[in-house]
Amino acid sequence: MLRVIEGAPQPYRAIFALAYGAGIEVSAILSLVDTDVDPAARQVRARGTKAWTRDRIARVADWSWPFVAEHLAGVMPGERVFRGINRFQASETHRERLRALGLTGYRLHDARHHWAVRMARSGAPFELIARQLGHRDVTMVAKVYGRFKPDSEERDRWERIAAARDAEKWPLRVATDVAGTEKVDEGEAVTDWRESSRGGTRTRDPGIMSAVL
């Protein structure tokens, strides 16, 4: 995929980077004007026309953004980002790159599948994938990409990221009783069971629950 993009001349390099790096259909890519692009957030407004859900905000992958930014440097204010390019030219240039690399059986439209599989493998919610692809709901995403669920190593990596974020939001809480001090980890902090001073029974701390939720 990177060889397809890197070997293409501009502006096709940026077009392919948006297709593979954001899952946007080529018609929406070619409709972009400079005001549709938010460089700070690395996102674009894709104005697809197949359904009302195709008019959406799409986040561009970090790896593909430099190819897009390179082309944007020469775009004038108010100008179409890919002025003078049509979908037939984009598709033919893509086919030429595939032939040069000895690849067959792929279309530029398949770049959307590349993006969706990458996101599904990373553990991204199906709702997020559906929204960026411009689908009405998650039904099609679950049917087509559900088999690309993260493996155990990928799940563990994302769990470590989530745990680090939890630790930033909710620092470890300390429960003190007559016997001393006990640290409560993040998993217990969600329900926050604590020893009550009455008869040693365990009760929820509603204050902690409301803070966490």
The one-character DSSP state at 75 is: P
Confidence of residue 172 (pLDDT cuts 50, 70, 90): low
Cβ–Cβ < 8 Å for 72, 52: no
Q: Is the pLDDT of residue 83 over 60?
A: yes
pLDDT above 90 (res 94):
yes
Query: How many Å separate Cα 58 from the centre of its chain?
Result: 9
Query: What mean pLDDT do residues 193-201 have?
Result: 41
Interval 135-155: pLDDT, tens: 989 999 999 998 888 877 777
47 vs 206, higher pLDDT: 47
111 contacts: CB under 8 Å, gap ≥ 6: 16, 19, 20, 23
Asked if residue 47 and residue 121 are part of one domain, the reply reads: yes
Measured over all CA atoms, what is the biggest interatomic distance in the chain, rounded to whole angstroms?
Answer: 79
pLDDT in tens, 17-56: 999 999 999 999 999 999 999 999 999 999 988 888 999 9
Does one domain contain both 21 and 105?
yes
Clarify whether residues 126 and 203 are in a common domain. Answer: no
The last residue of one of the domains, among 145, 168, 185, is: 145
Assign residue 70 the CATH number of its domain: 1.10.443.10
Which residue, 92, 124, 145, sits at the end of a domain? 145
Residue 166: alpha-carbon gap to chain centroid: 20
| Whether residue 122 is found in the same domain as residue 80 | yes
Position 191 pLDDT exceeds 70: no
- The verdict on 106 and 163 lying in the same domain is no
What does pTM read for this prediction?
A: 0.72
CA distance 139 to 42: 27
- Region of 156 (left: φ > 0; alpha: ψ -120 to 50; beta: rest) is alpha
Q: What SS3 state is found at 153? A: helix
One domain, residues 140 and 172:
no
Length of the chain: 213
Distance of CA 61 to the CA centre of its chain: 7
Q: Given CA atoms 49, 124, 121, 39 in this order, what sign does their dihedral have? A: positive
End residue of a domain, out of 145, 164, 186: 145
**Domain, as residue range, for 175:** 153-212
**Quick one: 133 and 36 in the same domain?**
yes
